[in-house]
């Protein structure tokens, strides 16, 4: 077994590798950017090395800096995790030339599977079923249009060097093909430096099914069964599960055998995933499942495979990289039960899933028996420089229905503030009747997007909690920023109005209610079904509607303050610009909601602010 490993990654996968390495007695080296100096993976590793400024291209994507970190710490191996340099064949070669062990597949295998057209040709030669389409070298618009028409509409244009949905377009009519081709080529060129495309027959009810494979340097290759990753948004996975619902034994045997043939065709070593597309219009069948691509690394969703097999895939990676044979032969690998994983992201479903960055003042997921893989902790921060995933929520149960119910409960129990999350969206998604029935495809979320992203109103009980909390004495916990306090009220019950967002609710103060709340910026924050609600006292109980707001002007999204034309004491009119925020390459002016006096200015030009940050506080004009 190798004695030490440098982890060329960050976040939850770095912590995941550290966890297994520590159990095996392997020393760990973390690398980190300036933005990650206080990150958990840095503290948990045996050694840590700063490799550059926050942008990934100046830190985690710098092979020279990573190799130098390995040299100065004496690391024997480099584990790339996933993303960043994990599928970079040139980097893998440099690791080998430096006399280090690469915890991943041979560079030749990475190259063989790196280009979609070449990989599909190779798979066809190996007897792996591939999606009907055009893989020709003639990239002229006329030839591509002719091939698409011959294939029949709809067709899918895909970047040859692509991934993650970039350079991909679905075309349903001949007259739309030319514009879609131009757009796909531009996007592919910008993302990969390669504008070549291939064409595939578009499957009308596609399911994304992948098989985990593992090979060693002794010629052994096994599969660890399949995962279903059909719940996607913009070609990005949201919920994954294993095994795939509706997969019968014969179809499973066929797809897993095809995956093993695919891995053997490139002399694969280490962990890899063979991804297939299935036509689910008439259920799963071996003759309607085709090879899409291979990911030559560990996958984000590997925990569901670990759950159903009881195996540690990172341990397997380290053992194989050390030259050991695979720990088990195919006949000794079995699966049990059903596992699901949901990706908890710092994003706001109500605003088109815009990323939400900033401090994790509150971050709590109760112990409900789920596995939580997270790269951040309470008091940390969601950075604008990297993927905004907060955690992976993984459950395992004897049956699929039980697993889905458990995952819904876990997602609904998430408490995060002030960063927005998709927890409520996830809870609704895995509670959807069609999902519970296993009737899924890659268009599942889009077909139900409006209902899934509609934020529900707080329950009557939660409003009562808020009213009771807001009725606490002025020297009590609600106004202590960052406090998390339990209390029991003894005052007489009284009617009260509370406000959450633009909505005002009426409730009775419950003198016997025992509750807990988090107080931030003069608001009481409560959580329910994965949603966070910030309650406050309304400006007035009635009267002129334009004076009903609370006078708090907040940032509608993360951004940089570029203009603050007002000062404390200024009288401002309704609609007057108070502060201008630059975000998403556009300026957004925040206006006064009513005639008022500026009571506080809590930002200055140049500040980077998170979504929901309090910028200006107003007092209604007399």
Catalytic residues: 297
Please say whether the dihedral angle defined by the alpha carbons of residues 311, 317, 318 and 323, taken in this order, is positive or negative: positive
CB atoms within 10 A of CB 74: 12
CA distances from 72 to 69, 499, 507 (A): 5, 57, 63
Q: Count Cβ atoms within 10 A of the Cβ of residue 284 and give its class: 0-12 exposed, 13-18 middle, 19 or more buried.
A: buried
The answer to whether 494 touches 484, Cβ cutoff 8 Å, is no
The answer to whether 543 touches 550, Cβ cutoff 8 Å, is no
CB < 8 Å & 24+ apart, contacts of 155-158: 155/199, 155/200, 155/201, 155/202, 156/199, 156/200, 156/201, 156/202, 157/181, 157/184, 157/197, 157/198, 157/199, 158/116, 158/184, 158/197, 158/198, 158/199, 158/200
Peptide bond into 243 cis (omega under 30): yes
Q: What is residue 497's three-state secondary structure?
A: strand
What are the two backbone dihedrals, phi and then psi, of residue 317, each rounded to the nearest 5 degrees?
Answer: -60, -45
The answer for 287, left when phi > 0, alpha when psi is -120 to 50, beta otherwise, is: alpha
Give 341's strand partners: 240, 394
Q: What is the DSSP letter of 438?
A: T
Paired tokens of 177? 């093909």
Q: What is the DSSP letter of 244?
A: -
Paired tokens of 325? 């044979």
Question: Please, what is the Cα angle at 535 between 529 and 540, to 5 degrees?
Answer: 145
């Amino acid at each position: 077994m190798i004695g030490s490993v440098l982890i060329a990654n960050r976040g939850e996968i770095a912590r995941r590798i550290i966890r297994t390495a520590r159990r095996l007695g392997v020393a760990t080296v973390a690398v980190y950017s300036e933005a990650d100096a206080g990150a958990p993976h840095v503290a948990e590793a045996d050694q840590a090395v700063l490799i550059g400024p926050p942008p990934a291209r100046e830190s985690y994507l710098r092979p020279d800096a990573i190799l130098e970190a390995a040299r100065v710490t004496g690391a024997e191996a480099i584990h790339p995790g996933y993303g960043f340099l994990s599928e970079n064949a040139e980097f893998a070669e440099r690791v080998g030339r430096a006399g280090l062990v690469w915890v991943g597949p041979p560079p030749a295998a990475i190259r063989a599977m790196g280009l979609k057209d070449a990989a599909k040709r190779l798979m066809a030669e190996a007897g792996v079923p591939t999606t009907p389409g055009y893989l020709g070298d003639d990239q002229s618009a006329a030839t591509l249009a002719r091939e698409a028409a011959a294939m029949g509409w709809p067709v899918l244009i895909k970047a040859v060097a692509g991934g993650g949905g970039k350079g991909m377009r679905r075309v349903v009519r001949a007259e739309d093909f030319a514009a879609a081709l131009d757009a796909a080529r531009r996007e592919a060129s910008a993302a990969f430096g390669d504008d070549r495309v291939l064409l595939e027959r578009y499957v009308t009810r596609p399911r994304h099914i992948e098989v985990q494979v593992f090979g060693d340097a002794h010629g052994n290759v096994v599969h660890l069964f399949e995962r279903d990753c059909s719940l996607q948004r913009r070609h990005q996975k949201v919920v994954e599960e294993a095994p795939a619902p509706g997969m019968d034994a014969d179809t499973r045997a066929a797809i897993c055998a095809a995956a093993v043939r695919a891995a053997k065709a490139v002399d694969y070593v280490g962990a890899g995933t063979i991804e297939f597309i299935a036509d689910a219009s008439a259920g799963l069948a071996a003759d309607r499942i085709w090879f899409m691509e291979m990911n030559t690394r560990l996958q984000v969703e590997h925990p569901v495979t670990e759950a159903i097999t009881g195996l540690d895939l990172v341990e397997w990676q380290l053992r194989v990289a050390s030259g050991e044979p695979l720990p088990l032969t195919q006949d000794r690998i079995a699966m049990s039960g059903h596992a699901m994983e949901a990706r908890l992201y710092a994003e706001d479903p109500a605003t088109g899933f815009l990323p939400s960055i900033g401090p994790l003042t509150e971050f709590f997921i109760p112990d409900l028996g789920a596995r939580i893989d997270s790269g951040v902790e309470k008091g940390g921060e969601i950075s604008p420089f990297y993927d905004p995933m907060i955690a992976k929520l993984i459950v395992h149960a004897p049956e699929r229905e039980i697993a889905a119910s458990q995952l819904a409960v876990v997602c609904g129990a998430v408490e995060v503030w002030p960063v927005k999350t998709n927890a409520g969206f996830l809870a609704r998604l895995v509670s959807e009747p069609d999902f519970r029935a296993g009737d899924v495809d890659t268009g599942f979320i889009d077909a139900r997007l409006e209902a899934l992203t509609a934020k529900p109103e707080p329950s009557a009980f939660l409003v009562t909690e808020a009213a009771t909390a807001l009725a606490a004495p002025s020297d009590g916990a609600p106004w202590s920023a960052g406090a998390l306090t339990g209390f029991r009220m003894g005052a007489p019950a009284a009617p009260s109005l509370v406000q959450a967002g633009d909505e005002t609710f009426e409730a009775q103060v419950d003198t016997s209610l025992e509750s807990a709340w988090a107080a931030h910026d003069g608001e009481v924050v409560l959580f329910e079904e994965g949603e966070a609600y910030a309650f406050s006292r309304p400006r007035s109980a009635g009267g002129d509607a334009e004076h009903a707001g609370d006078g708090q002007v907040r940032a509608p999204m993360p951004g940089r303050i570029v203009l603050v034309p007002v000062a404390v004491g200024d009288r401002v009119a309704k609609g007057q610009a108070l502060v201008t925020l630059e975000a998403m390459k556009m300026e957004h002016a925040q206006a006064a909601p009513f005639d008022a006096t500026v009571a506080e200015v809590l930002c200055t030009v140049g500040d980077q602010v998170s979504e929901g940050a309090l910028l200006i506080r107003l007092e209604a004009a007399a």
